[in-house]
């Protein structure tokens, strides 16, 4: 019974960690692309 709980807990933690990593992998390049687009299109500073 302890082993089943350990596998279940490990699975839940893997899903949570994977979701966080996936969010970072998608959001960071999206923000960088969006800032470059605003720089080219509207002339805003990259740091704005």
Torsion of CA 34, 46, 37, 43, to 10 degrees: 140
Residue ranges making up the domain that contains 41: 1-48
Task: Specify the pLDDT at position 32.
Answer: 95
Task: Specify the pLDDT at position 46.
Answer: 86
Please report, for residues 5, 25, 36, the alpha-carbon distance to residue 32 in angstroms, rounded to integers and kept in the order given. 41, 12, 6
Task: Specify the pLDDT at position 38.
Answer: 95
Task: Specify the pLDDT at position 33.
Answer: 96
How far apart CA 4 and CA 12 sit, in angstroms, is 12
pLDDT, one tens digit per residue, over 1-48 is 789 999 999 999 999 999 999 999 999 999 999 999 999 999 999 887
Task: Specify the pLDDT at position 2.
Answer: 80
- Tally of domains in the chain: 1
How far apart CA 11 and CA 29 sit, in angstroms, is 28
How far apart CA 48 and CA 31 sit, in angstroms, is 12
């Amino acid at each position: 019974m302890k082993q089943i709980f350990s596998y279940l807990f490990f699975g839940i933690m893997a899903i949570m960690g994977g979701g966080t990593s996936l969010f970072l992998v998608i959001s960071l390049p999206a923000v960088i692309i969006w800032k470059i687009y605003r720089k080219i299109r509207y002339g805003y500073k990259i740091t704005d």
